Structure 1
Amino acid sequence: MTEIITSFADISQRYAAAFVDLWGCMHNGVSAYPDAVEAMRAFRSGGGKVVLLTNAPRSRAEVARQIEGLGIPEECYDIIATSGDAARTAMFQGAVGSRVFFMGEERDKTFFEPLQIVKDPTPIELVPLDEAEGIVCCGPFDPHAAPEELRPELLLAKTRGLTLLCANPDLIVDRGDSREYCAGAVAELYEKMGGEALYFGKPHPPIYDLARRRLASLGDLPADGRIVAIGDGIATDIAGAAGEDIDSLFITGGLAAEETRTQPGGQPEGGALGAFLQTAMMTPTYAMGFLR
C-alpha cells in the first residue's frame, strides 16, 4: 500500500541516501522547484547523501552546468550519475561498433567527447546510416516531432541488423508547458519494428551500478534498505527502484499529474492515484504531489 506523505522530512530520517530524479522533481526544464531544492538541502544538513540520478544523455559535468543555470545549487546535492555516462562507457567499450550513426540534436554530440575512465577506448567515427555498424540515439532529431517520423531510418537500420544504443530511456519530458519526445520513445518504436536496443538509464541496472559506485566514493555505501529513490516516472524511477529492491517516493505532479489529478502545488487524489498505480502495476513506497 502506497503511503501519501506531505513532506520528504516526514520520512527522511529513515534513509542515509536518496537517488533523486531531476526533470519533473527538481526542475521543470525551465527553472528549479525551490521547495525541492530546500528539501534536499535539509536532507544533506541532517547527514543524508543526495545522488542526482538522471536519464540525461550527457556527462555529469554538463548536467551540473545545466542545473546550475536552472537554479539548482551545488549545496543541495553530493554527486551526479547520468544515463549519458553509463551509455558513453558502453559505447567506448565497443557496444555498437566503431562506425556509428548519430540520432539526436546537434547539442548532444558532446556525447562523443573522450571518456578517460575507459582504457583503450574503441575509436568512434560518425558516418551515414548506410555505412554504420550501429546507432547512438540521444533523442529524435526534433524533440517535438513524433518518433514515427523516423520510421524510414529505423526500417533501414533494422534491415541492416544494427543495434541502437539508447542514451536516455525516458519516453517524454515536459519542458515547462511543452511536451518533448526522448530517446526512449525512438528505441521503443525500433524494438516494436523488430530492432535491437541497448539501454543504460533508469530503470535498467547499469545506471544504478554507476549511482552506487559514485555514492560509495563519498564514504561507506549504505544498505539498500537505507536508500530511497525519488522520481516522477512510473516506468523509469519507480520501476527501477522496484528492480533494485529499494524504497521509492513517487512524485505525482510531474508526468502523471493529469492521471493522478495532482493540481499545481497540491497532492494527488487518492482514488485517481490508486487507479493509476493499479494500471501501471506498481506500488511505490510513498507518494506526494511535489517534492518538498
Structure 2
Amino acid sequence: MASTTTIRTPRRLAERIDGGDIANAATEHADKTPDQRQCECEDGRPSNVETVDGTEYCSDCGVVLSDCQLERSEPGWRDPEDRRLGPGQSQQWVNTGTTIGWGETSPGERFSRYNDRLTNQERSLVSGIREVRSVSAGVELPDADRERAAYWFRKAAQERLLKGRSIEAFAAACVFLTARERQYPVTIDWLAECSPVESSKIRHHVRVLQSELDVSIPPAHPRDFLPMIVSHLSLEPAIERRAARYLEDVVADEMHVGKHPAAIAATVIYAAAADIDTELTQAEIADTADVSTVTISRQYQMVLECVSDQQP
C-alpha cells in the first residue's frame, strides 16, 4: 500500500480558521515569501523537514519553508560560445522607438512624439521593410526568401543608397534579387503588378543594387517557370514530364539563350499538350506566362524543329 503524506496546517493559522477569519488568515499566510515564513515548532527550528515535488515543509507544524526552485543554470552540454538568449531575430521587422508612459496627452500627440524620435533613416527603413513584405506576399515568396529580401533592403539602407531614390522601387528590386538567387520564378513585370512603381524603374534600381553592392544576379532559367505554369493551368503530370524532355532538347541546342525564360517554358508546355491532344489554347498559356500569343507562336515552331532534330 502506497504511503501518503499529509501537510498539517500551522497552529496559528488553524486558530484563526477556528475563529472564523478564514480568508484573512489564508491571505496572510500566502502573501509571505518563503524567507519570511518561520517554523512554528517549540524551538523555532524545523526538526522534521520533508520535500514533495521540490517544496520543503515542516511535517510537525506544516509551514512551507521553500517553494519549488527554478533551475537558473545554463545546460552544461552546450558550448558557452554557442549560447544565446531571447527569440530569434527577424529581418522583416524593425524594432525601433519606444513609448515611455501614457501621460495626460491624447493618443495622437503621443504617436506624433513617437515618430519624432525616429531618424530619417529609421523611417525609411520602416517604410521599406513594410513594402518588401507587401511585394513578397503579392508574388507568394516563401518566408525564408522574404527574410533574404529584407536583408538586402537593410544592406542598401546601411550603404545609404536610399537617399534620393524610390523606396518602393528598391523594395521590389530586393525581392527580384532574392528570387533570382533562390531560383524562384518571378519576372520584373510580375513585380510591377504588385508594386506602385513601373517595371522600368524597378530595372533601374536592380542595376543600382548590382553596381553598388557588387551583387551578381544569375540569369533566369526556363525550368524554374515550368512547374509554376503547369500548376496554374492544372495540367496533368504527363504533360509536365514531356515538357521537361522538350526543354532539355532546347537547352542542349542553346535555343533558349537570349529569349524570355517564361516564354520558352510556356512554349514547351504548349507543345507537350498538343502532342497528347490536350485542349490548351495559346491565349490561355500566354496569359499565364504573361507573354504575348505572337511570342508563343514563334517559339512553337522553333521548339518543333529542335525536338524533331533530337528524335532518332
Normalising by structure 2, report the TM-score.
0.24
Select the structure that is richer in helix: 2
Select the structure that is richer in strand: 1
Q: Which has the higher contact order (CA 8 A, sep 6+)?
A: 1
